[in-house]
Structure 1
Amino acid sequence: MRKPEQRERIPSRPPLIAPLHDETDQPIWSVMIAVDNTFTYLNTTLLSILELDQGIGIMQMLVVDDASTDGDVEQLVKDTGKGRIGYFRQPSKVGRLRNLETCIKLSRGKYVHLLYGDNYVMPGFYDEILSLFNEFPRVGAAFTEFQYINERGTPIWKHQPLAKERGLLKNWVKAVALRQNTEPSAMVIKRTTYEKLGSYFGAEHGEFWEMTVRIAAHAELAYVPKVLANFRIHGKALYSEALKSGKNIEDVTKVIGIIRAYLPLDVRDEVNAMSKKYFSQHFAQLSHKIYHELNDTEAALKQAWGALVLDINWISFKYSMLLFIKYLIAYKVIRKWVEKLS
């Protein structure tokens, strides 16, 4: 395969996705597993799609590795996939957005399922998605409900269903523009949708949220409220260097601005303000989790301050000020001292 040309890590506009030159014998599915140092969880992901394998002519399976260094990904794919799962490794690290772009460009199926290397789906997922596409052929994407799992694969929280019944999510763009309410493991996007709208761009945090809103602004989406996908929460995914630098807040702020342009004029300002308020509260509360569970004061302060820069509201102000006070009075030191005395 041709090596990707040197390009900016974060595209400033959606990279073009060219149509397939030859659709003869096109598979129904392309299950594209994007890997970036998630070796610990990858075998579970591979086994899950092998269990749901519908055959070589129907389902393409390919691991696209962004030059991982935490394990021999290629050997794991060979051992577990036994020739059924393909493998492509980036010559050098290109970043999440470019790796996703590679996934889409290498896909040959009618429906593209981007699956991060630490997530997986459950039996029945592809049957439900295909049923939605067949019933609602004009949609740009289809998705199921999902749940959050921890490092061990234990469910820790089920996402609240977006609807009681399966079907179209009409006029959904306003709701999804407020905050992300689905995850990539739960959604399958038509390849023609990517060909029309392009790939991921703008920011490495919130990239899937932006894509979901972009699709909703141009086409309807189909949904089934069955929990058939898992999104894993673990240390590497949740607590990255982005928290120390505040890059996560910077990216989300940028994505909020991009999404604003997708909204109808009469609701732009309202949804934009509500979204900033929501994420401001999220980051302010996250700062305490980082402070207590990770003992990372620098990252906690960065999140608390960034929350107030994004939007000042009572909840964000309360949580941020509380964190600042804890920091100033050396809260953790005093607590340990009290515990020793008790």
Structure 2
Amino acid sequence: MPISNLVRIPSTPPVILPLPSDTKPIQWSVMIPVYNGLAYLAQTLLSVLSQDFGPDLMQIEVVDDCSTEGDVAEIVEMVGKGRVGYYKQPVNVGNIRNFETCINRSRGEYIHILHGDDYVKPGFYNAITQLFIDFPEAGAACTDWRAVNDHGNFIWSNEPVGDERGILKNWHQRIAIRQYLEPPAKVVKRSVYEDLGSFYLVSCAEDWLMWNRIAAKYPVAYHPEVLAKYRNHEQNITSASFKNRKNFLDIYKTMLYNIAHLPEHLRAASEKASRKNFSFYFANLAHQQWHANHDKEEALIVAKDALTFQVNTYSVKQYLKLLFKIAIGYKSKTG
């Protein structure tokens, strides 16, 4: 069945078939899913092309989910100069199905799904290649990462993914509790996708869910250097999904899935820790959204979602503080 005829968010993992016997496999597939946000695409492409291993080793392809802003093909041709492939969906299929298309169109042993607004630093592909050589048992590999804004400026400091180079310790439990890893920092073997299937169930926390599915069955190797940049901006899916509660509902669903798939003796403590983490996150997010948008409804929705994760001293205090800010009309961005 054509992917355009399928439900946008599948309820079971879509099957990823092995490559046809007449397809020559290569080492790398850098698959770049795009839907609008084209102001960032040139930087994304250049960050890959500057590390290009050549067409015999590396596939580079943009997969366009029928963008409505600008001309994706023109940017690919202008920047890629014939080196970068381009595929356009026949209709808009949504981010989950577009990722599935990326995987199905890949020919590489290692698949990097690099979103069209993110980018990598020099040395990323060499570092990941060496990880897979040194730790062949790993089903996936990653580097550290940082979040940046529209202009590529650092936004916040995130906790390092691991302590040292090598196989991540206690990774299944750690990644079940919270999202340590954004997509540009991670590469997955095609054989793992063939084993587990593609993304499914949610569209906002789909990467976190996938990282847990991988961690439950495969070791993950880690390089402790910041070589990936995750773009946080108003047009991305995460930033657009607070008021309609899509972000909350998907995170909540993913949290429950992750905990349920841990060994039983780890579940209770891990769920408590995960609820606390997201309660703090949403409590702080409510204030950030209030200062950014001055939208009372949105801010209160997010603050109440924090309490749904867990009622604790911090989340209650932040909720009351938000009510006071709204009551007095306090809108300072630094408040």
Query: Does the pair score TM above 0.5?
Result: yes
Rounded to whole Å, the distance in 2 between the matches of 1:232 and 1:20 is 32
Deviation, structure 1 residue 238: 7.1
Give 1:145-224 correspondences, 5 Å limit.
Answer: 145-224=144-223
Deviation, structure 1 residue 3: 5.0
After superposition, the C-alpha distances for 1:173-205 in whole angstroms (9 at most, x for unaligned) are: 111111011111011100000011111111111
Aligned twin of 2:60: 61
Give 1:256-271 correspondences, 5 Å limit.
Answer: 256-271=255-270
Deviation, structure 1 residue 111: 0.2
Structure 1 runs not aligned, ≥5 long = 336-342
Measured at CA, do residues 108 and 221 of structure 1 come closer, stay the same or move farther in structure 2, by a change above 3 Å?
Answer: same
Mapped pair 1:71 → 2:70: yes
Rounded to whole Å, the distance in 2 between the matches of 1:23 and 1:196 is 21
Q: Which amino acid aligns with 1:189?
A: V
After superposition, the C-alpha distances for 1:209-262 in whole angstroms (9 at most, x for unaligned) are: 111111111011100101111111212227744111111111100001111222
Quote the RMSD (CA, aligned, Å): 1.7
Rounded to whole Å, the distance in 2 between the matches of 1:235 and 1:87 is 26
Rounded to whole Å, the distance in 1 between the matches of 2:228 and 2:65 is 23
After superposition, the C-alpha distances for 1:131-182 in whole angstroms (9 at most, x for unaligned) are: 0101111111011111111111122334332333211113311111110111
Measured at CA, do residues 163 and 243 of structure 1 come closer, stay the same or move farther in structure 2, by a change above 3 Å?
Answer: closer
Q: Confirm or deny: 8 A CA contact 2:3 2:93 kept in the other structure.
A: no
Deviation, structure 1 residue 27: 1.2
Structure 2 runs not aligned, ≥5 long = none
Aligned twin of 1:97: 96
Q: Confirm or deny: 8 A CA contact 1:153 1:232 kept in the other structure.
A: yes
Rounded to whole Å, the distance in 2 between the matches of 1:158 and 1:124 is 21
Q: Confirm or deny: 8 A CA contact 1:168 1:220 kept in the other structure.
A: yes
Measured at CA, do residues 97 and 179 of structure 1 come closer, stay the same or move farther in structure 2, by a change above 3 Å?
Answer: same
Q: Which amino acid aligns with 1:87?
A: Y
Aligned twin of 1:332: 330
Helix, strand or coil for the counterpart of 1:87? strand
Aligned twin of 1:107: 106
Measured at CA, do residues 124 and 158 of structure 1 come closer, stay the same or move farther in structure 2, by a change above 3 Å?
Answer: farther
Aligned twin of 1:285: 284
Helix, strand or coil for the counterpart of 1:237? coil
Q: Which amino acid aligns with 2:143?
A: T
Work out the number of aligned pairs and report it.
Answer: 332
Rounded to whole Å, the distance in 2 between the matches of 1:11 and 1:74 is 28
Aligned twin of 1:339: none
Q: Which amino acid aligns with 2:330?
A: K
Q: Which amino acid aligns with 1:57?
A: D
Deviates more, 1:77-86 or 1:16-25: 16-25
Q: Confirm or deny: 8 A CA contact 1:114 1:188 kept in the other structure.
A: yes
Q: Confirm or deny: 8 A CA contact 1:25 1:57 kept in the other structure.
A: no
Q: Confirm or deny: 8 A CA contact 1:10 1:204 kept in the other structure.
A: yes
Helix, strand or coil for the counterpart of 1:225? strand
Deviates more, 1:235-244 or 1:44-53: 235-244
Measured at CA, do residues 134 and 322 of structure 1 come closer, stay the same or move farther in structure 2, by a change above 3 Å?
Answer: same
After superposition, the C-alpha distances for 1:60-95 in whole angstroms (9 at most, x for unaligned) are: 011011111121111111111111111111122211
Mapped pair 1:122 → 2:134: no
Aligned twin of 1:275: 274
Q: Which amino acid aligns with 1:305?
A: K
Rounded to whole Å, the distance in 1 between the matches of 2:291 and 2:37 is 25
Deviates more, 1:160-169 or 1:36-45: 160-169
After superposition, the C-alpha distances for 1:25-51 in whole angstroms (9 at most, x for unaligned) are: 311000000112120101100111111
Deviation, structure 1 residue 311: 1.7
The sequence identity of aligned pairs, in percent, is: 45
Q: Which amino acid aligns with 2:128?
A: I
Deviation, structure 1 residue 273: 2.1
Deviates more, 1:292-301 or 1:223-232: 292-301
Q: Confirm or deny: 8 A CA contact 1:139 1:222 kept in the other structure.
A: yes
Q: Which amino acid aligns with 1:237?
A: N
After superposition, the C-alpha distances for 1:73-123 in whole angstroms (9 at most, x for unaligned) are: 111111111111111111222111111111101111000000001101111
| Larger Rg computed on CA atoms | 1
Deviates more, 1:122-131 or 1:233-242: 233-242
Rounded to whole Å, the distance in 2 between the matches of 1:83 and 1:319 is 53
Aligned twin of 1:19: 18
Rounded to whole Å, the distance in 2 between the matches of 1:197 and 1:323 is 43
Q: Confirm or deny: 8 A CA contact 1:3 1:91 kept in the other structure.
A: no
Aligned twin of 1:84: 83
After superposition, the C-alpha distances for 1:240-299 in whole angstroms (9 at most, x for unaligned) are: 441111111111000011112220000112211221221121111101111012222221
Rounded to whole Å, the distance in 2 between the matches of 1:135 and 1:117 is 29
Q: Which amino acid aligns with 1:52?
A: Q
